[in-house]
Homo-oligomer: A and B are copies of this chain.
Amino acid sequence: MRLTFENQRVLAVVAHPDDAELLCAGTLARARADGAVVGVCVLCQGDKGQPQPPLENLVEVRRQEMTAAAELLGAELLAGGFSDGELFDDSASRQTVIELLRRFRPTLVLAHAAADYHADHRAASQLAEAASWFAASAGQKTASPPLDAPPALWWMDTIEMISFVPQFYVDVSQLVDVKRQMLRCHQSQLARGGDADFSPLETLLLRQCQTRGAQAGVQAAEAFCTHAAWKRTRAW
């Protein structure tokens, strides 16, 4: 069996600059190889992830890092500009995300799982869901015109695969190296090894896609669930 992404426009909506690498970059690369247009929308600036010694221009550095990673993937980068730890599903934030979605015009959105470990991931999950609905609603005015239809929505795996029961797996066996190369663009974060809330990211990335692969009979995989809701679920 194989899922094909041709004619799709696939947009990952993530909380922080390095989340797509860990959770869905292989799937985006697969989609691109199928001819899909792919994008990454990073909602937060990564402004609270300071290495030691701190970088004065951390926001700018992280912007460059995520730009480089998106280029490796051949993905359009969209930036929400929110502050880390300040992400909420409120009216103003929805407007911002609706407009970002209308610029990319996705047919499929990849969003954080509702129960991921970080409050920003959970807020990003709620925002991606609500905004991708309202993006197709003519009554919700922003600078860009509404989408033709609400995009499909898939929930991504959680960090370290906790509290996430996969519904299906995408084979990314040939794309592990892309994920690693993208991750290595985030030098400011790889230098944070000593922080209380930081872990060796490359080890984590490999463990996760190899374990998901072992669960699905391939070398590496990414795991997803579909958003089961009216006009959001698709027959394949």
Contacts and interface: CB of A to CB of B under 8 A. Distances in A.
Contacts of A147: 196
Given A226-B167, A236-B169, A236-B170, A231 B8 contact: no
Given A165-B165, A195-B138, A228-B166, A1 B234 contact: yes
Contacts of A48: 137-140
Given A170-B235, A172-B235, A212-B235, 10 more contacts: A1-B8, A85-B137, A85-B139, A117-B232, A138-B196, A138-B197, A162-B229, A162-B233, A165-B165, A169-B234
Interface of A: 1-6, 8, 47-50, 84-86, 88, 90-91, 94, 108, 115-119, 129-130, 133-134, 136-140, 146-150, 152, 158-163, 165-173, 195-197, 199, 204, 207, 210-218, 221, 225-226, 228-236
